[in-house]
Chain A
Amino acid sequence: MRSLLTRPTIIIAASAALVLFMVILPLLNISIPGIFPGASYTPGTLQLLAYAMLIAALALSYHLLFGLAGMLSFGHALFFAAGAYGLGIVLRNFSPSWLPAGATFVAAILITVLIGFVLAAFVGSVSLRVTGISFAMVTLAFAQAGSVVVRRNPGGQTGGEEGLTLDVAQVPDALVGVLNTRNLYWLSLAVLVIVYLVVLWVEKSRAGHVVAATRENELRVRVIGIRPYFVRLLIFSIAGALAALAGAVFLLLQSGVSPRVATPDFTLTLLVIVVLGGVGLRWGAVLGAIVYTLLDQRLTALAGSEFIAGLPDLFRIPLSQPLFILGTLFILVVLFLPGGLAGLTRRLGQPRRPSRSNRERTVEAEELT
């Protein structure tokens, strides 16, 4: 980290170049066989990349909870689902005549993000009364309740098991249809950049410092005279709002949403992504999301291939289940690669330095004193 801080301009320039490259990618003709399903300007590839970027935005919001504040939440999918379903329901029911069509759409997205924030504030206010493992279980219970509500289809609003389809009446024409996947791609990229900047801002803010300190040693923070509850609640709510934003654009991208995104399993996938990328690092979360999404997509394609179908049962069954491979990979990362993929690159980059995080050192120092 220290070496990065001495070269902030290089980092900013490199990030800007990367974003710029992502912006012009739909205008180029780049093919990477085995990773992209087609050339970079085709809707299929753009759809996949946009999906990966939204999952990256969601993973970043989860990083705020788990990486920064150290809160192991199993209910984060709830807010993503609230964003996706929320926007769908708002678009269907909210069409005031005094607003022009475009403004209605923007207002609907803002309302959705607000819903995410308020819902997270409510769930957080209850579940933050406990910490650690109990907190994990309570958020899991809330997520399960959300999943049940979505499946029960209250008032015919969520579409039950079949999911909700996007009502395009209020959506600008530029964001509808396969031919406009490019615009949705840019929108997803914008969401990822916005979420990244908000996460960065929160991390550098006073609230960010307080929750990071609470993660390391809650007792010390209390002794200084700060009550961690409200700061944690604030972070939890911001993460919820960001997840809702990602969910809202997810609805536009997929032109619909299925109850799968509300299940606790979806949160577990998120946890896998963040740990795979490297806990505590912003770009680790982004990297994890991109790698996971592409791997998931490619493994699914591999599972259906003739090569796999020709293998004996002993190899065919495990290899035809992408989640089995990803789960096993995840276990191996947790056991042998504590820093995740980001930790791996750092370790390769600086072989002589001990690859321990500051956090581990702090913990060790505390145990000594």
Chain B
Amino acid sequence: MSTIVLLLITGLGLGALYFLVASGLSLIYGLMGVLNFAHGSFLTIGAFIGWEVARRLSDGSWWALLAAMLTGAVVGAVVAAATEYFLIRRLYNRHIEQVLVTVGLALASVALFEGIWGTDPTYVTSPSWLEQTTEILGARIPNNRFMLILVAVLVLVAIVLFLKFTRYGLIIRAGVENRAMVTALGIDVRRAFTLVFAIGGAAAGLGGVLASIYYGYVSAHIGGSLLIFAFIVTVIGGLGSLAGAAIASVLVAVLQQFANFYLGGTGDLAVVLALAAVLLLRPRGLLGAKS
């Protein structure tokens, strides 16, 4: 019993990380049809700069952590918006070229991060409470998992509220449904594009700081490894669906944890098999719109 609780909550924590990356990917894809390979780099740079700030403030206090998270989100948002503005926008409606540009950006930025911060992982110090464990139903659960889940839920709620109750949210939702119609009504969708990139980048940058708490370190490749699972999550959840991304994040992460524990560390393979199964039974994903 205690093992199952532990695996479930740890899986939820990992799912929270996946969601922070996948939510941006899914929104960007839904609105613009861009598969963003550079999303992992938004995460990595958010994490690196977030911790640089935290280290200068103080080591291991809650304020420093909060500052790191805010900085990570802002840096992610700025870098993502700049990417959209300077690179993606020039290739409007040429989806393959847009993918290629983000691939190039991902390769170049990872190399640049390695040049600046080195190839070895940089270890981070988080508040001591996060490094302790709490006992729930006999399972000793690392406290940082609770924070991951809390932050991801807050981000989910914030994005949903934004999409439901603001004018830009309305434009984005309408754009996902039918972009041509929104444009025809005289609304400049391009500003919404930049905005969606900024939101996705902010979630990814925040996810970067949290991922470094989860793993205990930052490295240039932290974003790339999470990105692949985020891709799987977006496909399983249905491209362009935020709710689908949330559900699939949890399913994929929990499945991964259970397979890792009970099937001898085969979590990654189980996830790929799940992806194959979903594609065979339901090619558009769990909550994806019919194409």
Contacts and interface: CB of A to CB of B under 8 A. Distances in A.
Interface of A: 72, 126-127, 129-130, 132-134, 136-138, 140-142, 144-145, 148-149, 152, 264-265, 268-269, 271-272, 275, 317-318, 320-324, 326-328, 330-331, 334-335, 338
A323 B107 CA distance: 7
Interface in B223-282: 224, 228, 231-232, 234-235, 239, 265, 268-269, 271-272, 275-276, 279-280
Contacts of A321: 111-112, 114-115
B108 A141 contact: no
A148 B229 CA distance: 13
Nearest to B230: A137
Contacts of A140: 228, 231
A298 to B, nearest CB: 16
Interface in B33-88: 33, 35, 37, 87
A137 B91 contact: no
Given A127-B279, A138-B279, A338-B97, A327 B33 contact: no
A141 B116 contact: no
B110 A272 contact: no
B127 interface: no
A270 to B, nearest CB: 11
Nearest to A303: B115
B115 A141 contact: no
A138 B35 contact: no
Contacts of B111: 321-324, 327
Contacts of B290: none
Interface residues of B, number: 43
Shortest beta-carbon contacts, A-B, top 10: A327-B108, A323-B111, A327-B107, A324-B111, A321-B111, A330-B104, A317-B115, A331-B104, A145-B272, A148-B268
Given A138-B235, A141-B228, A144-B272, A328 B99 contact: no
Secondary structure class of chain A's binding surface, majority of residues: helix
A330 B234 CA distance: 27
Contacts of B115: 317-318, 320-321, 324
B124 interface: no
Contact of B269 (A136, A149, A331): A149
Given A126-B276, A141-B232, A327-B108, 4 more contacts: A129-B279, A133-B95, A134-B235, A268-B107
A126 B276 CA distance: 7
A127 to B, nearest CB: 7
B167 interface: no
B231 A331 contact: no
Contacts of A272: 103-104, 107
Nearest to B268: A148
Given A317-B112, A317-B116, A331 B87 contact: yes
